[in-house]
């Protein structure tokens, strides 16, 4: 039985194919995805999810062509990454990485999202909840204006 492992990291995508019964590695490949996007806000650390998807698909197709379909696939990825998707699962935003620092930016009240959220529990810039809170306060959640995202999924405080 062949099992494929896919790691979508902050800078690289790694894929391995192993024989599950013996643990023998059949194939492996790591590529830099170079998907970081420039932002007008230096603190934002965002990536292009479509580029990442294309590379994962290309690597998986190449391995499948050479070694056949795997019997199982396992995914892992960056910590605290956040991506907004529509009802069909398509990305409607950039991928906000765990390195995103927008939670440290001051809001209109002079406090940062991190400061406000620490009052109700531990939070650090880069955590998805902090980034989401910041984007909510700035009115920057994709679909928020058009009502495409139900309000109960957007509201934190």
The domain spans of the chain are: 1-34+50-78, 79-157
List, for residues 44-77, the tens digit of each pLDDT value.
999 999 999 999 999 999 999 999 999 999 999 9
Three-state DSSP class for residue 32 = strand
Residue 134's pLDDT band, with cuts at 50, 70 and 90, is very high
Residue 122's pLDDT band, with cuts at 50, 70 and 90, is confident
pTM assigned to the model: 0.85
Rounded mean pLDDT of the chain?
90
Q: How far apart are CA 103 and CA 12, in angstroms?
A: 25
CATH topology of domain 1-34+50-78: Nucleotidyltransferase; domain 5 (3.30.420)
Query: How many other CB atoms sit within 10 Å of the CB of residue 46?
Result: 22
Task: List the Cα angle 127/128/129 in 5-degree steps.
Answer: 90
pLDDT recorded at residue 148: 54
């Amino acid at each position: 039985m062949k099992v494929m492992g896919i790691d979508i990291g902050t800078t690289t995508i790694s894929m391995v194919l192993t024989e599950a019964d013996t643990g023998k590695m059949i194939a492996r490949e790591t590529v830099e995805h170079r998907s970081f996007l420039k932002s007008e806000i230096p603190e934002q650390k965002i990536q292009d999810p479509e580029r990442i998807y294309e590379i994962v698909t290309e690597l998986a197709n190449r391995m499948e062509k050479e070694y056949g379909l795997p019997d199982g696939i396992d995914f892992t990825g960056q910590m605290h990454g956040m991506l907004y998707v529509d009802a069909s699962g398509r990305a409607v935003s950039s991928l906000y990485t765990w390195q995103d620092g927008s939670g440290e930016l001051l809001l209109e009240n002079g406090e940062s999202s991190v400061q406000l959220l620490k009052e109700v529990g531990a939070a650090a810039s880069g955590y998805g909840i902090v980034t989401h809170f910041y984007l909510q306060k700035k009115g920057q959640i994709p679909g928020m204006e058009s009502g495409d995202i139900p309000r109960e999924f957007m509201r934190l405080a």
